[in-house]
């Protein structure tokens, strides 16, 4: 199933409604509004909101990292980054889970950014084309969306939503036609249940490239809302046997200005399965354990403990220097919190050196409020994301590594009756060790340091008062990861 965020403006207020779509083995991700962009199953085509009924073969899986955006009424909203995992446990069945980091516009303030509602769907194939005389492949895909996002910040709905669609498909050589629709259960004040339907026609151009076009329609999801229709064009390009790029873009054709002025989606997909061919053996430096090759894609999950250091400076000033007796007051505040979330990455081994890139998202706890200079400083972080490069030295079952890159956190603070709430980007460096438990599983421990520069907040009640923070963070991470058998580009 897919998360879709609709951003609307009404009396200068931002109203965000959560809209969801179906999911599948290779499908699911986030997009917004009438352009409900989503990567299709491995056998389908471009990343469209309309799903296909193919659950894939037993053991097939897909991991997608994605970003998406929708713009309507001069407001943009989206999901970046998002992580999606799809798996077919047995014949005719697949499950899909997507965990997006969503951002929403705020009036006269930076965008809100944090963990959105998680989507979970189950695809069950009822009929398969050309089996037992069936002319079509048909599946049902019940889906549920628990309220994991923060509804107070418009990152979630605060309610459980459900979708009950039926999808059908017919293949004609290089052409594939699929579509269908379903009914959304859409609780919450000012909402009503609604219908969604769509159809996709796609063509295989080469063994590596498929293109397609989609038309979709949905009824109004609120009494004062409007029906919307949209078209999308998209493509899937296979980089290697196990690595793909999904791309899609489009706009509304009914009430487009209010619903979908334009939208886009971009995703990177890694796939695999029990029936996938194994990489050809290659001559490499001999190692004492299979995992110590270290090359390949991996996914994992972890948790940790973070220690915050926030340097706070509060200032009072005016043009007459009447407040000159009140010099800036500075203090260092401390806080500790726990965090946890998924990560994914890829390693390349060249000789005795391992290079890699990794992304990670995590949900966080809060820091305690502190009193300084008559102002309440209540720094909080509810979500963070990392994008890092790594370089390591393998020694038997160990991989000793250093890392560096960017880190983003959704930072809250308040002073002098004014609040600051926005995503803030900084830099991070660190180091750690991975330990191979067997040919696929490994455990990790890592230390990271991060700094975020200065954050300035001027009082909305007294233009003579201002506060400035310089947050830093030291964190200790623990995790476990699973490495897949196939290799990244250049090593397969």
Dump pLDDT digits (tens) for 45-67: 448 888 889 998 998 888 888 88
pLDDT of 14: 26
Highest average pLDDT, of 175-189, 356-370, 403-417, comes from: 175-189
pLDDT of residue 35: 31
Q: Is the torsion defined by CA of 57, 195, 33, 150 positive or negative?
A: negative
The pLDDT of residue 311 is above 70 = no
DSSP string, 96-134: EEEEEEEEEEETTEEEEEEE---EEEEEEEEE-TTSTT-
How many other C-beta atoms lie within 10 A of the C-beta of residue 278?
9
Model-level pTM? 0.58
3 state SS of 249: strand
Q: In this structure, what are the phi and psi dihedrals at residue 198, rounded to the nearest 5 degrees?
A: -160, 165
The 10 Å Cβ neighbour count of residue 133 is 6
Confidence check: pLDDT of 157 > 60: yes
The pLDDT value recorded for residue 206 is 92
- Measured between alpha carbons, how far is 122 from 55 in angstroms, rounded to an integer? 9
**461 vs 159, residue with greater confidence:** 159
Tell me which of 64-78, 277-291, 373-387 is least confident: 277-291
E strand intervals along 273-379 = 296-316, 329-350, 353-364, 370-372, 375-377
Can you give the pLDDT at residue 182?
93
DSSP state of 433: E
Q: Residue 270: pLDDT above 60? A: yes
pLDDT for the residue numbered 362: 85
Average pLDDT over residues 455-468: 58
User: What average pLDDT does the segment 262-285 reach?
Assistant: 67
pLDDT band at 70 (very low <50, low <70, confident <90, very high): confident
Over residues 103-125, mean pLDDT: 78
- Average pLDDT of the chain is 75
Give the span between the Cα atoms of 378 and 337, in whole angstroms.
14
Backbone angles phi, psi at 353, to 5 degrees: -120, 140
Distance CA 377, CA 419 (A): 9
The pLDDT of residue 21 is: 31
- Point out the least confidently predicted range of 156-160, 381-385, 449-453: 381-385
How many residues appear in the chain?
492
pLDDT value at position 405?
Answer: 92
Burial 420-451 (b: 16+ CB within 10 A, else e): bbbbbebebebbbbbebeeeeebebebebebe
- Rounded to 10 degrees, the C-alpha dihedral 260/262/263/266 comes to 170
pLDDT at residue 286, as a whole number: 43
**DSSP states of 445-463:** EEEEEEE---EEEE-SS-T
| Higher pLDDT, residue 9 or 416 | 416
Percent of the chain scored above 70 by pLDDT? 68
Burial 365-391 (b: 16+ CB within 10 A, else e): eebeebebbebebbbbbbbbbbebebe
Identify the pLDDT of residue 22: 32
Residue 96 predicted with pLDDT over 50 = yes
Comparing CA positions, the residue from 382, 380, 452 lying closest to residue 419 is: 380
Beta-carbon count within 10 A of 217 CB: 17
Domains, the chain, with CATH or none: 2-272 (2.40.160.40), 290-483 (2.40.160.20)
pLDDT over 80 at 277, yes or no:
no
Rounded distance, CA 232 to CA 250, Å?
Answer: 4
Q: Which of 5-14, 247-256, 305-314, 461-470 has the highest mean pLDDT?
A: 247-256
Per-residue confidence at 116, pLDDT binned at 50, 70, 90? confident
Top-confidence residue, 371 or 329: 329
Residue 176 banded pLDDT, cuts 50, 70, 90: very high
């Amino acid at each position: 199933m897919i998360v879709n965020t609709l951003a609307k403006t009404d009396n200068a207020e931002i109203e965000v409604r959560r809209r969801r779509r179906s999911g599948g083995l290779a499908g699911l991700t986030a997009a917004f509004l009438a352009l409900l962009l989503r990567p299709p199953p491995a056998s389908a085509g471009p990343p469209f909101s309309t799903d296909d009924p193919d659950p894939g073969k037993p053991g097939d899986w897909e991991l997608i990292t994605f970003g998406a955006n929708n713009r309507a009424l001069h407001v943009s909203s989206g999901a970046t980054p998002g992580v999606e995992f799809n798996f077919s446990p047995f014949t005719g069945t697949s499950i899909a889970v997507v965990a997006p980091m969503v951002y929403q516009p705020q009036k006269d303030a930076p965008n809100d950014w944090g963990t959105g509602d998680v989507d979970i769907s189950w695809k069950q194939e009822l009929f398969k084309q050309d089996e037992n005389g069936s002319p079509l492949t048909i599946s049902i895909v019940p889906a549920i969306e628990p309220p994991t996002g923060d509804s107070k910040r418009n990152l979630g709905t605060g309610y459980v939503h459900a979708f009950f669609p039926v999808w059908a498909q017919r293949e004609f050589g290089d052409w594939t036609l699929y579509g269908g629709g379903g009914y959304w259960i859409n609780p919450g004040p000012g909402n009503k249940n609604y219908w969604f339907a769509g159809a996709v026609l796609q063509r295989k151009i080469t063994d590596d490239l498929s293109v397609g076009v989609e038309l979709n329609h949905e009824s109004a999801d609120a009494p004062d809302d409007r029906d919307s229709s949209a078209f999308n064009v998209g493509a899937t390009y296979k980089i290697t046997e196990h690595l793909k790029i999904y791309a899609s873009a489009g706009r509304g054709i009914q009430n487009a200005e209010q619903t979908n002025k334009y939208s886009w989606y971009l995703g990177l997909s890694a796939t695999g399965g029990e029936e996938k061919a194994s990489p050809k053996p290659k001559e490499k430096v001999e190692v004492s354990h299979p995992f110590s090759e270290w090359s390949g894609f991996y996914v994992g999950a972890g948790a940790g403990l973070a220690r915050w250091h926030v340097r706070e400076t509060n200032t009072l000033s005016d043009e007459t220097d009447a407040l000159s007796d009140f010099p800036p007051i500075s203090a260092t505040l401390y806080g500790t919190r726990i965090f946890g979330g998924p990560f994914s990455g890829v390693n390349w081994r060249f000789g005795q050196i391992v290079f890699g890139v990794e992304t990670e998202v995590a949900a966080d706890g809060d820091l305690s409020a502190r009193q300084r200079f008559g102002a309440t400083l209540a720094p909080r972080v509810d979500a963070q994301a990392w994008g890092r490069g790594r370089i390591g030295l393998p020694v038997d079952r160990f991989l000793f590594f250093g890392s560096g890159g960017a880190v983003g956190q959704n930072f809250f603070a308040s002073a002098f009756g004014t609040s600051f709430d926005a995503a803030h980007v900084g830099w991070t460096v660190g180091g750690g060790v991975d330990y191979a438990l067997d040919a696929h599983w490994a455990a990790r421990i890592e230390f990271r340091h991060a700094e975020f520069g200065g954050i300035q907040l001027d009082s909305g009640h007294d233009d003579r008062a201002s506060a400035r923070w310089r947050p830093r963070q030291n964190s200790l991470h623990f995790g476990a990861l699973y490495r897949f058998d196939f290799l990244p580009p250049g090593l397969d």
